[in-house]
Amino acid sequence: MSIGRRRFRIIKEIAEGGFGKVYLAEQISSDGFSRIVAVKLLHAKWSSHDEVVMRTRDEARLLGLIRHQHIVKVEDLTSIDSKCAIVMEYLEGVDLKWMIQFLKDKEMVFPRAALFEIVLAVASALDAAYNGTPLQGGDPLHVIHRDIKPSNVFVTVAGGVKVLDFGTARANFAEREAKTQALAFGSQGYMAPERMLGEEDTPAADIFSLGITLYELLALESFGRIPPRPNKFKKKIEDRVAQIPLEGDEDWCEQVRDTLRLMMSYDSSERPSAPQLVEIMEILAQDAGDMGLRRFCRTLVAEAKTSLPDPDTGDPLAGSVVDEDLSASTGSSSTGTATPPDAPTPPRLPDGLGDTVQPTDGARSSTRSGARSGARSGARSGARSGVIDGAAPTDGPNRTVLFVGAGLVVVLILIGIFVFLFGLTTTALVIGGGDADPVVDVNERPPEPDPGDPELAAPNGQITDPGDFKGPTIPCVLRYNDPRGGTIHITGPSGFKATWDGTSTFDLGLVGEGLYKAVITTADGDKLRLKNFRVEAGHARCVYTFDVGAEVWSGGCE
């Protein structure tokens, strides 16, 4: 392990999501050792948001405990410029979502042998994550991914398959910070029916999501909405499976269809386990008789990678050298600073600065550019202001200045408390919306809505009690698919209450995370109870539509 602070030469941006960016970088250790890595750097606006930072840390720590050839490797959890950073292996290739579009544009099918080998690899990764024992010892982590989909499976030009994004995973490990709940994790189009209905998470739900993914790889099209009611569900599954274009031995084609039916069974107990799926996929791949995974990656994946759009957005970090925060390696105070691209190789730091450690819970940043709130990423930035070594208050004018300064601080604190409480009360009443940030803090005012946006049409609904939310809030929009409307009574966490007639979009504005319960009386007079939806932090907004025919909310948090 290298000693002291490391530096990262940012080569280019390679991806961006709602919470951060991923950069291709050269890691330069203080002893002169360097290597190519990917650095996932949390956006500055999330650095003081507890839930986002905790989930980012949890993902890194979890992946640090799992070592499997088909799960992306995380090398370190650190802090750069007071922002949470994950150092990962660099993968050269594309995700399956891009691969599907690439093959569709070229009017090609996904090579069957390669396809089944990929699904085999994902099933192997899911088995290792749930049943595998960490090399460090202890019990299995029982990891359930909860967001298996094409964009979270990566294929490399060298023939590798990697499962990505364990940020919403459920797992058992002592260092976990964030508290996850059983419902609404994952992407709506890949979510098992029992998960949509709020039942307990099991590994079978990941198998269902992998079944939807397998369908989309075979058909090169989206599966679409998943009906949660058994009769409509089974009919759609049967229709979709029957339409898959398959060529070859009739028995083999029927085995493929039977496998899909089992993976996407409504009853979770009927789905194959991950180890069983490994064996099934091995047989299907052997009998496919076309291009295998290695050749597929060497040719088509390499070509698909060259067709990726250039993500160069003029990011100011590209081409610069950034320092790892000293707090990430020594516990001292420091800030990460950008260095010009032609900066010389950093000199070796003095011995004895200590090994690199993960940020600890509750670490707070010191003052930086005034009183900056504690960066939950664990970085301590800047020296503590206002303290001079060896200096102590003295009698006379200096003590008077000290008393006056203390009085001003007390006044400012009282004003701040008043502003906070006033803002907390009024923000809960603001009607917001649109594509806001994934999580909106209770003190952050949403952007002014565009009056011409149909999403923000004046609703025929009323929030009768906005509740008293103490945590993060998220924009939420409701729709009703019967133009005749109905009578909808909604209750939610912290005393939230609202009524709505369903005839137009109901923009709830910023609401707290949690389970919302609806009692609905349809235009035909039917009374539907316990029609629930969940608002989750960590998303840009939540959009739900009540399907009167299916008697269920569709949509989710995006």
How crowded is residue 200: how many other Cβ atoms within 10 Å of its Cβ?
10
String of b and e for 181-192 (b: at least 16 CB within 10 Å)?
eebbbbbbebbb
Whether residue 122 is found in the same domain as residue 192: yes
DSSP codes of every residue in 112-177: HHHHHHHHHHHHHHHHHHHHPPPTT-SS----B-S--SGGGEEEETTS-EEE---TT-B---TT--
Whether residue 53 is found in the same domain as residue 169: no
Position 168 scores a pLDDT of 67
Could you tell me if 162 and 154 are in contact, meaning their C-beta atoms sit under 8 angstroms apart? yes
DSSP lists the bridge partners of residue 23 as 13, 39
pLDDT digits (tens, 9 = 90+) for 48-87: 777 778 877 877 888 888 889 999 998 888 888 888 889 9
Whether residue 275 is found in the same domain as residue 334: no
Query: 344 in a domain, yes or no?
Result: no
Position 335 scores a pLDDT of 35
Give the amino acid at 212: I
The 3-state DSSP class for residue 31 equals coil
**d(C-alpha 248, C-alpha 494), whole Å:** 59
Could you tell me if 342 and 320 are in contact, meaning their C-beta atoms sit under 8 angstroms apart? no
**d(C-alpha 480, C-alpha 489), whole Å:** 13
Position 376 scores a pLDDT of 32
Whether residue 245 is found in the same domain as residue 287: yes
307 alpha-carbon distance from chain centroid: 26
Domain that holds residue 263: 94-306
How crowded is residue 520: how many other Cβ atoms within 10 Å of its Cβ?
22
Query: 373 in a domain, yes or no?
Result: no
The 3-state DSSP class for residue 240 equals helix
Query: 449 in a domain, yes or no?
Result: no
Q: Is the dihedral of CA 210, 215, 217, 220 positive or negative?
A: negative
Position 163 scores a pLDDT of 95
Whether residue 476 is found in the same domain as residue 543: yes
Whether residue 283 is found in the same domain as residue 421: no
How crowded is residue 495: how many other Cβ atoms within 10 Å of its Cβ?
12
Position 396 scores a pLDDT of 43
Position 252 scores a pLDDT of 94
Query: 287 in a domain, yes or no?
Result: yes
* CATH number, domain containing residue 121: 1.10.510.10
Whether residue 43 is found in the same domain as residue 128: no
Last residue of a domain, one of 281, 306, 331: 306
Position 386 scores a pLDDT of 33
Position 439 scores a pLDDT of 32
The 3-state DSSP class for residue 394 equals coil
Phi, psi of 215 (to 5 degrees): -55, -45
How crowded is residue 95: how many other Cβ atoms within 10 Å of its Cβ?
20
* CATH number, domain containing residue 481: 2.60.40
Whether residue 169 is found in the same domain as residue 70: no
Query: Which tokens is 552 given?
Result: 């269920």
Q: How many domains does one find in the chain? A: 4
Position 500 scores a pLDDT of 92
The 3-state DSSP class for residue 552 equals strand
Query: 354 in a domain, yes or no?
Result: no
Query: 382 in a domain, yes or no?
Result: no
Low-confidence stretches of the chain (pLDDT < 50) are: 1-3, 173-174, 176-178, 180-184, 329-415, 417-459
Last residue of a domain, one of 254, 285, 306: 306
Whether residue 274 is found in the same domain as residue 417: no
Whether residue 65 is found in the same domain as residue 209: no
* Pairing label, strands 542-547, 473-480: parallel
* CATH number, domain containing residue 11: 3.30.200.20
pLDDT digits (tens, 9 = 90+) for 252-311: 999 999 999 999 999 999 999 999 999 999 999 999 989 999 999 999 999 999 999 876
Last residue of a domain, one of 409, 427, 445: 427
**d(C-alpha 258, C-alpha 406), whole Å:** 75
Contacts of 400 (CB under 8 A, 6+ apart): none
Whether residue 77 is found in the same domain as residue 100: no
Query: 197 in a domain, yes or no?
Result: yes
Query: 328 in a domain, yes or no?
Result: yes
Whether residue 127 is found in the same domain as residue 156: yes
Could you tell me if 6 and 29 are in contact, meaning their C-beta atoms sit under 8 angstroms apart? yes
Q: Model pTM?
A: 0.59
